[in-house]
Structure 1
Amino acid sequence: MRYGEFKLENWVLENIDELLRDSELDTVSWTALPYWAENPRLVDLEELIGIEVHHERPLENDRVEFFCDLSLIGIFQCSILFGSWKSVIHSRQIEWVDEESSDMWTEIGLRSVGTFLARIVFDLNTATVVEHDVVAIPHDIYSALDSLENLKAEFEGDG
């Protein structure tokens, strides 16, 4: 999406730290981000793999509000309580393990996918973002499990 010289993708890449600074990620259910990985926080954005703008609407004073779905691959720093990461996280996700970890917590960096919804208000006169909010979009794993069970039941009924 572009308004004049403004490029949304560049703005997201330049401001991802600020966008996610106040987001509570610890309670978000994401695929391949294990429950045992406590207090995840994005420490390195590897790639912005999806960006979708929707629900644009004009506001007063030459401003536009829109919503933006963001999908990214990044390294999330997490803490593992009382245990080895090897028993709870796929080894290909691990980027680093902090050798200075305590007996209680092991700090790790793991690669995962994050999905977010941002609300952005853009000022057409100054060509700048003047407001933004972002929330993590949880992956609805339980609905997916229900769908798989329904498929299984359908196939068993055909036999």
Structure 2
Amino acid sequence: MALFRESADVSVRPAVPGDETPMTAVQVAAWRATHETALGDGVVDALDVDAMRDRWASAITAPPAQGFAVLVALAGPVVVGFAAVGPGQILALEVDPDHQRGGHGSRLLAAAVDRLRTDGADRVVTWVLDDDTARERFLDAAGLGPDGMERVLATGVRDVVERRWSAEI
């Protein structure tokens, strides 16, 4: 006889040592699925995965200053997404492509905004890479919108544009 649960076994919690490895895998998979064309051929393949993992480990164990935090989304015991916040901003929010559209991004966004509020922020900002229409739709549905600011990032293959999205919280 199969057991059915009233709710899925999903959650968001602060990242802990050991989460950096699945976080890095999520980030690479998400970037490959979403940004490979925008970043340029070979950019995702050229990422230094060990260095990325080490930076996430440092962010988890020794945040650079007050107001920085890393959160992870879980499906059961498995890390399927993460968000990183700094004072007033969401620095990163990624969900494994195989686990998208399951509410993990919304839970991460809500937890990130709660963390920002706790730290005294009254506004949230984040950056969206040009042509990431899925992220734009997600943020728009959550009440964020483009505020007219943009920046250009060099990938080594081409320059890419990011636009800032923001909202009062």
Output the TM-score relative to the length of structure 1: 0.27
Query: Max radius of gyration: which structure?
Result: 1
Decide which structure has greater helix share.
Answer: 2
Output the TM-score relative to the length of structure 2: 0.26
